[in-house]
Structure 1
Amino acid sequence: MNLAVTRTAVLAAGLLMLAACGSSGEQATTPSASVPTASATPPPTLSPTPTPTATPTPTATPTPTPTVKPKPTPTSPPKAKDGADVAACRDGRCEVLVKPGTSVRFNGGTLKVGKIGKFMEFTITGNYGGSGQLGPGCVVTFKPGGVATRCGTNLPSQAKDPRGITLRVPYVGMSRAILNMHKV
């Protein structure tokens, strides 16, 4: 390698460092014509080139399939002795399946069925006027001069019903009720 070229390169590098390190803000003096001149702007700083990273593709999380629960099949109400034939009640003795709005005519009056939920609501007109609600496990007797209601597990049989019209409701469900009517 040529010694003159090496000296020129070392001298140029030294001047560049002095020019870059100067704190007075003055420009460096121009060297002789034999020394190459450096620009007053500092060399560009190289920043690291970002390495592209693979963006993970979101994995599809399986969506749980909703379990469809079958609707419970409503059980049919028990069979009433006289079915839904309210004409069987004309003599005051029957067991019929009723729903809200049913009218039951019997010798001595009319029973009108109201709302049916946990109990059957009813109104009686005629000789045995009154109203109330009745459900399984209770007995109500409409008689001249008053009303008698009994509830519990040890209820009297129909053979022991007092004079009047006695009502029992052995079943209530699905907006239906079984009405047991017994006139003594």
Structure 2
Amino acid sequence: MATRPAVQSSGRRPAKLSRESIVNAALTFLDREGWDALTINALATQLGTKGPSLYNHVESLDDLRRTVRMRVVKDIIDMLTTVGQGRTRDDAVMAMASAYRSYAHHHPGRYSAFTRMPLGGDDPEFTEATREAAAPVIAVLGSYGLDGEEAFYAALEFWSAMHGFVLLEMTGVMNGIADTDTVFSDMVMRLAAGMERR
């Protein structure tokens, strides 16, 4: 008696795989399961297929993770550029900081991917991409009279403050101890005031 091929419980065939569809699935997977859970087999299960079929489109788990990181960096650049458009000084700084914080909370897995690789590591393309991610912030810092290396390091300081605050929120450290929205706004405005004095 002939055996029938296995059918997914949903009754649908797996979607046709491509590098783009795999990366998109990985981004969704990250936000649900987290960075450490991302493996080829786990992602393949989400896609309703087997691990080896993914290797027709990605070279390795490292290749997939690097591609995901690059995609997240691009998304962050696009987001910061969009919210900063037409704004200057404090208005732009607050808009960018709020968008950054919102992105981290809505996409925790993607945000984790963004911060899992050294900014000055041994991947020149990723290093260049992360410097480009600072470009929208550096452009705004120009409205405070900062430019060149001074603007780059000011942007790095600003990002460090944002990351620290977001991380404390995401890990629950700040739960119930303060009105975090007010604390965040006050912190951003103090940073902006420091840019002006600088």
TM band (smaller chain): under 0.3
RCO higher in structure (CA 8 A, sep ≥6): 2
- Please report the TM-score for the alignment, with normalisation by the length of structure 2: 0.24
Bigger CA radius of gyration: 1
Q: Which has the higher helix share?
A: 2
- Please report the TM-score for the alignment, with normalisation by the length of structure 1: 0.26
Q: Which has the higher strand share?
A: 1
